[in-house]
Amino acid sequence: MSDRAGTGDSPLVLEHEDRPELRHHFADVVQQRNAASLGMWWFLGTEIMFFGGMFCGYLVYRRAYFPDFAAGSRSLNLIAGTLNTAVLICSSLTVALAVRASQLGKRKQLVNLLLATIFFGVCFLAIKGYEWRDEYIHHHVPTFYFDAHDLVRENPNLHLDPQHTKIFFSLYFALTGVHALHMIVGIGIFSVITFMAWRGKFNPEYHTPVEIAGLYWHFVDIVWIYLFPLLYLIDRRPGA
């Protein structure tokens, strides 16, 4: 199946009549599915580089301003962060089970699992929103009455520079903000997929959109799997 060339002349017309989801420039649904899958994997590759640029900035500044980053990290809500990580893992489970349901043609189960995924996604955003609100109240949101002097006072031995701490929070909000945007887009995509599933568009022969939407969702989960330790767990040792 990998990289094989098309299957030649006429099968196109016949396939077309049987398979309305087959687009005219593909020879058969397998070629179409393989193209969609490779396309989505490449898109995820671009996303790795997109987030990667921010990771680069984060690493450079963490190295330069470690105490400030550590203090900022400690001020984040560890429970919320851990809970959110678990929520996303649950959502990845429901996605994997949903893809399985679509492979087996179980429409009702598929719809329920897709709805569960959306539910977990919304939970994640809600918890994140709660955290951000909390950070806003504590004046840790850059530009919006930002004031890191509380952290400076709490860590007298570290001699923190509030401007360096602000860089931590800028990157924190940039990273989690862009991540949240990706979650919102993911929820939007899954809403469409759920609607299509409910209308019975998927079956064992054709469930490509479920698969590739699933790939996207898992990727967003993986980004968070890295964000969690990098942002929340910089230095949580006792006495730090």
Of residues 175-214, those binding another protein (CB under 8 A): 178, 204-205, 214
Our CB check for another protein shows the closer of 48 and 184 to be 48
Under 8 Å between Cβ of 15 and 28: yes
- From first CA to last CA, the distance across the chain in angstroms is 55
104 alpha-carbon distance from chain centroid: 26
Our CB check for another protein shows the closer of 96 and 122 to be 96
The CA distance from 210 to 99, in Å, is 6
Q: How far is the CB of 195 from another protein (least distance, A)?
A: 19
237 scored as a contact of another protein (CB under 8 A):
yes
Give alpha helix (H) positions in the chain: 11-18, 29-64, 66-74, 78-104, 107-137, 149-154, 162-198, 208-227
Q: How far is the CB of 21 from another protein (least distance, A)?
A: 11
211 alpha-carbon distance from chain centroid: 15
* Among residues 60, 126, 184, 192, the one that binds another protein under rule CB under 8 A: 60
The CA–CA distances, whole Å, from 94 to 116, 154, 184, 190, 218 equal 7, 42, 17, 12, 11
The CA–CA distances, whole Å, from 69 to 73, 172, 174, 189 equal 6, 10, 15, 35
Say how many residues touch another protein, by CB under 8 A.
93
For the segment 78-107, give every residue that binds another protein (CB under 8 A): 78, 82, 85-86, 89-90, 92-93, 95-97, 100, 103-104
For the segment 131-160, give every residue that binds another protein (CB under 8 A): 142-143
Q: How far is the CB of 15 from another protein (least distance, A)?
A: 8
* Among residues 14, 43, 133, 137, the one that binds another protein under rule CB under 8 A: 43
Q: How far is the CB of 128 from another protein (least distance, A)?
A: 16
* Among residues 166, 172, 194, 202, the one that binds another protein under rule CB under 8 A: 166
For the segment 214-233, give every residue that binds another protein (CB under 8 A): 214-215, 218, 221-222, 225-226, 228-229, 233
Type of residue at 120: F
Our CB check for another protein shows the closer of 41 and 130 to be 41
